[in-house]
């Protein structure tokens, strides 16, 4: 997302005077958390993996190691930084063909990975990102040790 900003002159009494505009990148709307999973689906060499959160950036891929999900998150971030729309990598067709449901976050037999991403804009206007936190578990993603704060804990 970009913004066109009037950078001056703001106090010119001539309404038709020359104005200077600048294009600035907005990073506040970019996602800061990605979630993905990889599971054994009986393939010979590789395992399917999906980035399932945020839903509008879902993506399908396959690989035999933990780096497959990392690569997909990196591809999504690169597309967003270049202002391109990330593709789903064929997720819709693969789900229809294999009979998978859309709720990958509920897979118990999968390795789930959660990423925290920080975005910033350099002085040259280039949008950059870095993964600040990566958490991986096997089983349900909510069993990762972090749970929502309960009401009794908030009042204590």
Torsion 75-76-82-88 (CA) sign: positive
Query: At 126, is the pLDDT very low, low, confident or very high (cuts 50, 70, 90)?
Result: confident
Q: 76 by DSSP, 3-state: which?
A: helix
> Does pLDDT of 23 surpass 90?
no
pLDDT of residue 151: 44
**Ramachandran category for residue 92: left, alpha or beta (phi over 0 → left; psi -120 to 50 → alpha):** alpha
Which residues are within 8 A (CB) of 56 and not within 5 positions of it... i.e. 6 or more apart?
A: none
How many angstroms separate the CA atoms of 92 and 110, rounded? 19
Q: What is the pLDDT averaged over residues 142-148?
A: 48
Residues 53-110 have pLDDT tens digits of 988 889 998 777 768 889 999 999 999 888 888 888 888 888 898 888 878 877 778 8
């Amino acid at each position: 997302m970009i913004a066109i900003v009037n950078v001056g002159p703001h106090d010119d009494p001539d309404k038709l005077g020359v104005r200077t505009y600048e294009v600035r990148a907005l990073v506040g709307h970019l996602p800061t958390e990605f979630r993905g999973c990889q599971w054994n689906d009986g393939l010979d060499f590789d395992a399917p993996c999906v980035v399932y959160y945020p839903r509008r950036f879902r993506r399908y891929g396959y690989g035999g190691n933990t780096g497959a999900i990392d690569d997909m998150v990196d591809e999504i971030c690169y597309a967003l930084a270049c202002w391109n729309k990330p593709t789903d990598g064929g997720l819709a067709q693969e789900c229809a063909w294999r009979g998978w449901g859309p709720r990958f976050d509920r897979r118990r037999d999968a390795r789930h990975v959660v990423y925290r991403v920080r975005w910033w804009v350099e002085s040259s206007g280039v949008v950059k990102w870095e993964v600040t936190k990566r958490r991986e578990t096997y089983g349900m993603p909510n069993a990762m040790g972090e749970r929502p704060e309960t009401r009794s804990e908030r009042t204590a």
